[in-house]
Amino acid sequence: MKIDKIVTIDDLREAARRRLPRIAFDFIDGGVEAEHCLTRNREAFLEYRLLPRYFADVSKRSQKTTIFGKTYDSPFGICPTGLAGLWRTGADDMLAEAAAAANIPFAQSCASNSSVESVVARAPNNMWFQLYSTRDRELGRRLVGHVESVGIETLVLTADVPIAPKRERNMRNGFTRPLRFKMSTIIDGLSRPGWLAGYLQAGGGTPMMPNWQRYAKEGATPDEVADFFAGQTPASEQTWADLEHYRKLWPGNLVIKGLLHPEDAVRANNIGVDGIIVSNHGGRQLDMAPSPIEVLPLIRAAVGEKQVLMLDSGIRRGSDILIALCLGAQFCFIGRSTLYGIAAYGLPGAQKAISILRNEIDLNLAQMGRTSLAEIGPHCLMHRGSQFQIMAPEPASTRTGSAIHA
């Protein structure tokens, strides 16, 4: 499929599906267990209607958004997505370039195959950095110190990966560490020459995780670095003390990603985070978890107006972003949308994803009779009936994080 034939994010997904071997496409596209959460993330947006107003002069429109003192050209950024070098060599460098060109933020995953220096060189004003808690706190402290030294101002701590989840597509495809391909996977890979050529050109095997390389043993191979990373995360022992620890350590903007419970959001707010990304990790962690869009109003009500709330998971349309903003998010993030673009076409594919969403936001805003994002809110939304409700308050005896490790 030629890139100029691409009209929607779903088209980009289809183009990625055609270029990648199944094992790779499924890793990006898939969710946890039965993938109910993945489906729910799309369906939750479809429960809302945007109510238009007409005879408003909408000839001049802006979707500029200011967050943490920086003004971006759209109200969305690019999510951290680890291991993207497997789908396209230099993927995160391309995502950084796309973010800089479009003036939107990009949160690099700590599990990236590009170094933080490399992405910052390409997008000095647009980079955020995402971290998982490490089992060895001292290591996390050193990593964060390094990230700060290269000029990153916003650190994103991901909360929602306490364990490695059961991703059934990966299990069926044999996506394991170290990468050992089954015969059927090799045959499938051979039928995807575009992807195979790039993969082999980059040396094949596991791509390096440069942000961990400097902490692994001298001369560690990419597989040894990946093993080192896997020994540090997920840190199942993480508690709120880890967030407090990073709050003390990090002088810049601290964002927590992956909260869904209003009480967790209140706790993060009390610890002094600068932002919360309401997220279910794109349906990749807890299959029966709510969609962020279902809990966003509860979280907004719980934390009040001052706390910066952002949202990801399931965004495939500009209208999804507008719905999230109407419900009280200040900003959104996209994960797979740009990854499909990168996997299918490299940098132009990521740019295509951004321009599709930007254009849809612009057209929908005009159709709603609004000229800026400041004009939208719950008054623009319809919803069929009652919101999801939490069925009982958390008893004090089961409150999580009460046993705080040192």
Ligand X SMILES: Cc1cc2nc3c(=O)[nH]c(=O)nc-3n(C[C@H](O)[C@H](O)[C@H](O)COP(=O)(O)O)c2cc1C
Q: Does 130 bind ligand X (CB under 6 A)?
A: yes
By CB under 6 A, tell whether 28 contacts ligand X.
Answer: yes
| CA 56 to each of CA 243, 366, 367, 368, 381: distance values in angstroms, whole numbers, following the listed order | 46, 9, 10, 9, 18
Per the listing, tokens 């001369």 go with 219
CA distance linking residue 267 with residue 256, whole number of Å: 11
**Cα–Cα dist 256/241, whole Å:** 13
- Which residue type, as a one-letter code, is found at position 225? V
Can 261 be counted among the known catalytic residues?
Answer: no
Pick the closer one to ligand X by CB: 211 or 269: 211
- Does residue number 353 form part of the binding site for ligand X (CB under 6 A)? no
Task: Read off the tokens for 339.
Answer: 């990854």
Distance CA 286, CA 89 (A): 30
Q: Compare residues 257 and 300 and give the one whose CB is closer to ligand X.
A: 257
DSSP 289-322: PPPHHHHHHHHHHHH-SSSEEEE-SS--SHHHHH
DSSP state of 95: H
Of 319, 314, 371, nearest in space to 49 by CA: 319
Binding mask 178-217 for ligand X (x = CB under 6 A): ----------------------------------------
Catalytic residue among 245, 261, 281, 405: 281
Which is closer to ligand X, CB of 45 or CB of 215?
Answer: 45
- Under 8 Å CB-to-CB from 101, ≥6 apart: which residues? 351
Paired sense of beta strands 381-383 and 154-158, if any: unpaired
Q: Which of 85, 207, 234, 335 binds ligand X (CB under 6 A)?
A: 335
Residues 292-331 that bind ligand X (CB under 6 A): 312-315
Q: Which one of the spans 179-187, 277-285, 350-358, 365-373 is the region binding ligand X (CB under 6 A)?
A: 277-285
Residue whose pair of structure tokens reads 């999804």 in the numeric block:
320
Among 158, 232, 307, 351, binds ligand X (CB under 6 A): 158
Under the criterion CB under 6 A, does residue 255 sit at the interface with ligand X?
no
Binding of ligand X by 89 (CB under 6 A): no
**Binding residue (CB under 6 A) for ligand X from 82, 205, 210, 252:** 82
Q: Minimum distance from CB of 270 to ligand X (Å)?
A: 22
CB of 17 to ligand X, least distance (A): 14
3-state secondary structure of 395: coil
Q: Does residue 88 bind ligand X (CB under 6 A)?
A: no
Residue from the set 63, 115, 279, 291 that interacts with ligand X by CB under 6 A: 279
Helix (H, G, I), strand (E, B) or coil at 265: helix
Applying CB under 6 A, the residues found at the interface with ligand X are 27-28, 41, 79-82, 109, 111, 130, 158, 257, 279, 281-282, 284, 312-315, 334-337, 339
Q: Which positions are catalytic?
A: 281
